[in-house]
A and B are shown apart, each in its own frame.
Chain A
Amino acid sequence: MALDPATVRRIVTLARIRLEDAEVPRIQSELNGIIGWIEQLNEVDIDGVEPLTGAAQMALKMRDDAVTDGGYPDKVLSNAPERAGPFYAVPKVVE
């Protein structure tokens, strides 16, 4: 399944990464190279195989549904590029 320029545009939009029009052909060719290579997986017989979602060979532990941490907004906000009081600040979204 080769990616066309419209698909590349759709993917970069989904990923929220700005891409100049002039860069589309290069990205398209790189992604097609990788996608073409990973399509070798089509050779594998996967009938009846359950997908493996993770490498953890254990049952996940249960814990109490309780708040055990938090209450320090200044620490949480200490790396904010822009803040307004106890809030993160972003460019205006609603007119």
Chain B
Amino acid sequence: MSLTDLSLAAAREGLRRGDFTARELTEAHLTAIEALNPRLNAYVTVMADRALDQADAADAARSRGEDRPLLGLPLAIKDLFCTEGVRTTAASRILGPFVPPYESTVTANLLRDGAVFLGKANLDEFAMGSSNITSAFGPVENPWKRQGDPATVLVPGGSSGGSGAGVAARLALGATGTDTGGSIRQPASFCGIAGIKPTYGRCSRWGIVAFASSLDQAGPMARTVQDCAILLRSMAGHDPKDSTSIDRPVPDYEAACRRSVKGLRIGVPREYRAEGMPAEIERLWEQGLAWLRDAGAEIIEVSLPHTKYGLAAYYIVAPAEASSNLARYDGVRFGLRVEGEDLRDMYERTRAEGFGAEVRRRILIGTYVLSAGYYDAYYLRAQKVRALILRDFTEAFARVDALLTPTAPSAAFAQGEKMDDPVKMYLNDIFTVPASLAGVPGMSVPAGLDGDGLPLGLQVLGRPFDEETVFAVAAAIERAAGFEALPSLRAGA
């Protein structure tokens, strides 16, 4: 077995036993990146020298008898997390030249625990997208192929598409992602890996390039539920620099993965039976419920009546916040500047050239819904609908311990599909957006393949700050599913 095929947990054990060194593990991943990244484009920046230095430091620490939770484990970092001294682009031209003089709290937590950073992973520009098509550094190729159709390039999902494709193709043991409306869960589903968006407030947002601040949340993506649990424990924790970060102890999520689901009440929200959803996704969902029933859980039908309005509310709230957050890109303090006739012309040219089409579109929508005369009709109404969506979840969680739904309404689609109409692309997030609006934790776990041999994920949603139950349920599905299919493009294949 190649070192790149190990789970994060198995690599941790191998390092502890001295079966191999952090340098060997890191070199194996860098070799895989060199071979596959020119095609997959999962990384926009590879940090080979720095990674090897970090690996050597980890080996030296271990030889002194130190052990830390992630000591010597190589990861990919979504290029939305500021990394001190390493260019951080948000996959946008406007941040092309930006080198942060500080480290984000989440990545600082990972470094504190001994992680090795292989590079910065590609994403949709400013995390706005569901296919990684909007990146200024080009699209990411999903390492999975439709059976008998190796020529068609599929999208990895988005916005954390580089993280998803990179982990699936074994170019990292795990990765950081961020999720504003599904940006961890949907690419995890498309790439056949696991990923969790924790409760809003679990991970500090400090040093993460902001998209929609009331929704943005960091989380891990990895090939197993346990690996996500290991990573989240390091990423999470209170940070005085983010006033919305929660001051609560971070539980042992790994232990939660071993909890039984016996006696748990699992809700099935009837509104998630979307019109036109492929029958195989419906069947996989039924299968997931049967697995949990077999493991001793009780299945209960619940109603989340405002589900169908989640997307529309999201596409007011998120662009509104984005239009405000992205006002800082003005060509004055950092990033791109395009000279103009005067100050105002400089602003307008910088922003027209620096932002891609989807980002411009969302800034304009956000500007419109916040503008004088329209605020009440759009933004205030959307916030009230958001309150109703939270109320739906609160009422459901009074009756059940967790919810099970599909992660996305389809498997990975081809580059070029769903590109003609922005709204069609937005519909990808129909099952992930409500949990983002309510701030509750959600995890996608690979559960099966569709008729084309592409991975499909199931989504587990939990109560605020009860990621432990989410991990327990996701791990039970993972055990029952025995998902062992592999993408055709991967290291060593």
What 0/1 readout, one digit per residue, does chain B (436-467) give for beta carbons within 8 Å of chain A?
11110000000000000000000000001100
Contact A61 B247 (CB under 8 A): yes
What 0/1 readout, one digit per residue, does chain B (98-135) give for beta carbons within 8 Å of chain A?
11011000000000000000000000000000000000
Q: How far is the CA of A38 from the CA of B320 in the complex (A)?
A: 13
Contact A61 B99 (CB under 8 A): no
Q: Which of A12, A30, A46 contacts B381 (CB 8 A)?
A: A46
Contact A17 B348 (CB under 8 A): yes
**B492, chain A: closest CB distance, angstroms:** 40
Q: How far is the CA of A41 from the CA of B367 in the complex (A)?
A: 18
Q: Which of B97, B352, B382, B438 contacts A18 (CB 8 A)?
A: B352
Does residue A86 face the partner (Cβ distance < 8 Å to B)?
no
Inter-chain contacts of B385 with A (CB < 8 A): 41, 44, 46
* A17-B351, A30-B361 as given contacts; A51 in contact with B334, CB under 8 Å: no
**B418, chain A: closest CB distance, angstroms:** 14
Question: Please, which residue of chain B has its CB at the minimum distance from the CB of A47?
Answer: B384
Question: Could you tell me the dominant secondary structure of chain B's interface residues?
Answer: helix
Contact B390 A52 (CB under 8 A): yes
Q: How far is the CA of A52 from the CA of B309 in the complex (A)?
A: 15
Question: Please, which residue of chain A has its CB at the minimum distance from the CB of B319?
Answer: A34
Question: Please, which residue of chain B has its CB at the minimum distance from the CB of A75?
Answer: B101
**A35, chain B: closest CB distance, angstroms:** 7
* A34-B315, A80-B333, A81-B335 as given contacts; A16 in contact with B348, CB under 8 Å: yes
**A88, chain B: closest CB distance, angstroms:** 5
Inter-chain contacts of A33 with B (CB < 8 A): 421-423
Inter-chain contacts of B334 with A (CB < 8 A): 79-81
* A44-B388, A57-B439 as given contacts; A18 in contact with B351, CB under 8 Å: yes
Contact A91 B423 (CB under 8 A): no
Q: Which of A17, A35, A60, A76 contacts B243 (CB 8 A)?
A: A60
Contact B377 A1 (CB under 8 A): yes
Does residue A15 face the partner (Cβ distance < 8 Å to B)?
yes
Contact B343 A93 (CB under 8 A): yes
Inter-chain contacts of B313 with A (CB < 8 A): 41
Question: Please, which residue of chain B has its CB at the minimum distance from the CB of A89?
Answer: B332
Question: Please, which residue of chain A has its CB at the minimum distance from the CB of B436?
Answer: A55
* A50-B384, A57-B464 as given contacts; A44 in contact with B200, CB under 8 Å: no
Contact A57 B384 (CB under 8 A): no
Contact A44 B360 (CB under 8 A): no
Contact A51 B384 (CB under 8 A): yes
Does residue B187 face the partner (Cβ distance < 8 Å to A)?
no
Q: How far is the CA of A55 from the CA of B341 in the complex (A)?
A: 42
Inter-chain contacts of B437 with A (CB < 8 A): 55
Contact A40 B374 (CB under 8 A): no
Known contacts A52-B387, A90-B343; 19 additional CB pairs below 8 A are: A8-B364, A11-B364, A14-B371, A15-B351, A18-B352, A27-B361, A30-B422, A31-B361, A40-B309, A40-B312, A49-B388, A54-B439, A55-B215, A56-B244, A56-B439, A57-B201, A58-B201, A78-B99, A92-B342
Can you name 5 A-B pairs with beta carbons within 8 Å? A7-B368, A54-B200, A56-B244, A63-B240, A79-B101
Instruction: Spell out A's residues near B (CB within 8 Å).
Output: 1, 3, 7-8, 10-12, 14-19, 27, 30-31, 33-35, 37-44, 46, 49-58, 60-61, 63, 75-76, 78-82, 88, 90-93
Top 10 closest pairs, chain A to chain B, by CB: A55-B439, A51-B383, A79-B334, A81-B337, A18-B348, A52-B387, A55-B200, A18-B352, A54-B214, A46-B384
